């Protein structure tokens, strides 16, 4: 079983924003980051739980699938290159991350 590395008292929006502010260029404004976070939340289908705490072993929060998509969002916020082998190790529907990347590069 994999351990969850997400902060249980944060929301998906907070976790993704925190990652973005640490990893994206410092020239990006808070508004640009917020827009990028909203886009990733929407593309991965976690907008409805964006402001619900993640939760954990002792705190009820978002579902396991939503946690996995939040973890994916934290990684793809910087738009890294993704190999197909990485996508298959996520235990998600394999088309979700691939669709996000395909759409991102076509915009």
Grouped pLDDT means (10 residues each) for the chain, 107 residues: 76 96 94 95 94 92 93 88 51 55 52
What residues make up the domain containing 38?
12-106
Q: In whole angstroms, give the CA distance from residue 66 to residue 25.
A: 27
Angstrom distance (rounded) from CA 85 to CA 89? 6
Note whether residue 40 is domain-resident: yes
76 vs 82: CA distance, rounded Å? 9
2 falls within a domain: no
* 4 belongs to a structural domain: no
Question: Count of domains in the chain?
Answer: 1
Burial of 74 (0-12, 13-18, 19+ CB in 10 A): buried
Q: What is the pLDDT of residue 79?
A: 79
The C-alpha atoms of residue 64 and residue 87 are separated, in whole angstroms, by 17
Residue 91 lies in a domain: yes
On whether residue 69 sits in a domain, the answer given is yes
Residue 96 forms part of a structural domain:
yes
Asked if the structure places residue 5 within a domain, the reply is no
């Amino acid at each position: 079983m994999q351990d969850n590395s997400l902060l249980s008292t944060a929301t998906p929006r907070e976790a993704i924003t925190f990652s973005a502010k640490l990893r994206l260029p410092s020239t990006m404004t808070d508004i640009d980051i917020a827009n990028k976070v909203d886009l990733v939340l929407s593309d991965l289908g976690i907008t409805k739980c964006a402001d619900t705490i993640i939760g954990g072993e002792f705190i009820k929060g978002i579902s396991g699938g939503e946690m996995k998509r939040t973890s994916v969002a934290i990684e793809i916020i910087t738009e890294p290159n993704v190999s197909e082998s990485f996508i298959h190790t996520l235990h998600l529907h394999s088309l979700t991350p691939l669709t996000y990347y395909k759409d991102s590069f076509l915009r």
